[in-house]
Amino acid sequence: MTKATLKILVACGSGVATSTVAQEAVKKILADAKIPAKIYKSTMSEIPSKEADVDIIMVTTNYRKPLEKPLIKVFGLISGIGADAITKEIIDTCNDLLGKE
């Protein structure tokens, strides 16, 4: 069974600045790849309490606690460093979760 829409959590230190920029970049990547997703923003400290409600967690800074869900570091979407590789990782991970090839 495939999920209709992925739930993605984008987290940064404050839950405001970099996660907003990253969220917009992720939205564009997913739209271009025609991947249905709902994106939520949070602070890094909220990840443990929100993990159960999402399919993928994307962070703009290092997160070292163990997670059950895929974790993608997306700071490169803001800095421009390694953005192509991050874009590919996002699309591949989303397609894996959706059961697409």
Instruction: Check if the beta carbon of residue 50 is closer than 8 Å to that of residue 42.
Output: yes
Using alpha carbons only, give the angle 61, 63, 69 rounded to the nearest 5 degrees. 115
Q: What count of other Cβ atoms lies within 10 Å of the Cβ of residue 100?
A: 13
Mean pLDDT of all residues in 56-81:
94
What average pLDDT is seen over the chain? 92
Mean pLDDT of all residues in 25-39:
96
pLDDT at residue 18, as a whole number: 86
Whether pLDDT at 16 is above 80: no
Confidence of residue 4 (pLDDT cuts 50, 70, 90): confident
Residue 59 belongs to a domain: yes
Residue 22 belongs to a domain: yes
Q: What is the CATH number of the domain that holds 20?
A: 3.40.50.2300
Query: How many domains in the chain?
Result: 1
Confidence of residue 53 (pLDDT cuts 50, 70, 90): very high
Q: What count of other Cβ atoms lies within 10 Å of the Cβ of residue 81?
A: 10
Residue 38 belongs to a domain: yes
Domain containing residue 50: 6-98
Residue 1 belongs to a domain: no
| Alpha carbon of residue 90 to chain centroid | 7
